[in-house]
Amino acid sequence: MNDRPVEDEEMPAEIDFTHGIRGLHHIASTAKVFLPASIERSVWEYFSRKAEQKGIGLSELLRDVLKRDIARKGPGSAPPRKQGRP
């Protein structure tokens, strides 16, 4: 991003940033970001039981399991995503 002035012909008239705030929606790299994830019921039940046995929350357990798996395999080693439904 640069601070050079934008020429009038570069921006459509209906877009008005006069009251915009730079960086308003920026997410810091240190911020916790919560994203929904869909998992099968049996997987949810399994990890819910494990989390309860350990006395921790489900999110914490899943985060630990995923981090451990990433560390074991190394970052960037995930197989390519299949086409179609996620």
> How many CB atoms sit inside 10 A of residue 37's CB?
9
DSSP per-residue letters across 38-79: ---HHHHHHHHHHHHHHTS-HHHHHHHHHHHHHHHH-TT-PP
> How many CB atoms sit inside 10 A of residue 86's CB?
5
Could you list the pLDDT tens digit for every one of the 86 residues in the chain?
566 665 656 777 788 888 888 888 888 888 888 888 899 999 999 999 999 999 999 999 999 999 999 899 886 766 665 555 44
This model's pTM is above 0.75: no
What residue spans define the domains of the chain? Answer: 40-75
User: In Å, how far are 12, 47, 53, 70, 83 from 50, measured between CA atoms?
Assistant: 55, 5, 5, 20, 32
pLDDT of residue 1: 55
pLDDT of residue 63: 92
